Amino acid sequence: MERIGIYGGTFNPPHIGHIRAAEYAVQSLGLSKLLMIPSCISPHKRLPEDSPTPEQRMEMLKLAVGDNDKIEISDLELRRGSTSYTYETVEEVRKLYPNAEILLFMGTDMFLSFDSWKNPDQILQNAALAVFYRGDPGEISKIREKKAFFEEKGAAVYLAENPVTDISSTDLRRMLVFSCAESFLCPGVGAYIRQKGLYGTGKNYQNLSIEELESVVTALLKPNRVAHVLGCRRTAKELAELHGADPVDAQRAALLHDITKALDGGLQLTLCREYGIKLDDFSTNNPKTLHALTGSLVARRIFGENDAVVAAIESHTTGKADMNTLEKIIYVADYMEPNRDFPGVEQLRQLAWTDLTAALKMGLEMTLAMLKEQGREISPESQMALDFLSKKGVEIC
Ligand code: FE
Ligand code: FE
């Protein structure tokens, strides 16, 4: 019997993870054909504003798939228009292939929430489910449970371990703005995106006003980080006015200090590689702390910020020896902005208004104590920063 796969999604943009998963699906489940179907309006995901048109997503998907006679790109959901409900798609595919076994592909999140889709039983009458899962043991037991539940209802469920290291489309859109997405895109897709100026690639991010910078930055942050960054901006401005640093530089550095924080360790390393940066051992082993370095690189290369702003971003997590006023401000503002809440934060706040250097020392000491307690490695820069302040006789009183 013919076996037809359905792989739907927003594909915004399509990336190497989608294509490898598609190829793997064809191979591992012996599909006669896999239909990749871009959704028109997804019921699961609202597309970000100024996303490409559905036709552009379709074009990109065609480029990404290239010549593969087992994979067909279908405009079925785009032609239908409106919200793309899977039960309708599956019914249409069933009409096209009345005698085939139809496999509907999905990731684990979608599978685990399958009950909440529209008309799930109708889907199961026409198709088997094929779930791509990752090797996470916690996840596997949940998936097995759910599989057994559906099978009891008479449905067929296939599991395939997804061997692909994936990137989310959201992170890919960030990487596009930072000009380091190429390794995640199939040949031709990157050029298409740049040619059409999609995902902000056609925008000039240099010389933005502070208000423009704020709106670009907040769109790139994870939503739960926005309040922190805006808090930092306000605090950094106040500290700059009080301690005689440039309030504009302070606000720009504060806005950009966590610009790459959303990227995981692997993406941090990719960014460094794409920017031609060689890393020391500490950074390679602790890629999560890299967001200060990668943030500073993005601030310079993408946003065209000046040396003072770039340096303040670079030292904001670890500190360093002999920091200037702006660097101290960004370090301390990050620690004490109004959304921060931890034992000792009030003392640090009071200190910051009277003695910025003492506040910096307090922040460094607290960080190092916490890292030691957690048995984590301490960055050589932090140790040097603290040693420098101790030698200078800085005291917290
Ligand atoms: Fe940070
Ligand atoms: Fe921060």
165/175: higher pLDDT: 175
Query: In terms of DSSP H, where are the helices of the chain?
Result: 16-28, 54-65, 76-80, 86-96, 108-112, 120-126, 137-152, 169-177, 189-196, 210-220, 226-243, 247-256, 265-274, 281-285, 291-301, 307-314, 325-336, 345-354, 356-373, 380-391
Q: What is the pLDDT of residues 141-168, one digit of tens each?
A: 889 999 999 899 888 999 887 766 668 8
Q: What are the Cα distances from residue 281, in Å, to 160, 284, 377, 382?
A: 36, 5, 11, 15
CA 260 – ligand 1 centroid, Å:
9
Average pLDDT over residues 355-374: 96
Cα(219)–Cα(204) distance, integer angstroms: 16
pLDDT of residue 48: 72
Superfamily of 3-167 according to CATH? HUPs (3.40.50.620)
Cα(292)–Cα(320) distance, integer angstroms: 12
Residue 204's pLDDT band (cuts 50, 70, 90): very high
Token pair in block for residue 232: 């930092």
CA 291 – ligand 1 centroid, Å:
7
Model pTM score: 0.88
Assign 275 to helix, strand or coil.
Answer: coil
User: CATH classification of 204-341 is 3.40.1080.10, yes or no?
Assistant: no
- Ligand nearest the Cα of residue 229 is 2
CA 234 – ligand 2 centroid, Å:
13
- Ligand nearest the Cα of residue 228 is 2
CA 168 – ligand 2 centroid, Å:
23
Burial class (CB in 10 A: 0-12, 13-18, 19+), 126: middle
CA 335 – ligand 2 centroid, Å:
8
Q: Does position 268 have pLDDT exceeding 90, yes or no?
A: yes
Q: What are the Cα distances from residue 270, in Å, to 10, 294, 308, 350?
A: 24, 10, 25, 40
Q: Does position 11 have pLDDT exceeding 70, yes or no?
A: yes
Cα(208)–Cα(255) distance, integer angstroms: 12
Average pLDDT over residues 63-79: 94
CA 206 – ligand 1 centroid, Å:
22
Residue ranges of the domains in the chain? 3-167, 204-341
CA 223 – ligand 2 centroid, Å:
13
Q: Which residues surround ligand 1, an ion (CB under 5 A)?
A: 258
Average pLDDT, the chain: 92
Do 250 and 326 meet the contact criterion of CB atoms below 8 Å apart? yes
Q: Which residues surround ligand 2, an ion (CB under 5 A)?
A: 258, 334
Residue 286's pLDDT band (cuts 50, 70, 90): confident
Q: Does position 171 have pLDDT exceeding 70, yes or no?
A: yes
Q: What is the pLDDT of residues 332-358, one digit of tens each?
A: 999 999 999 999 999 999 999 999 999
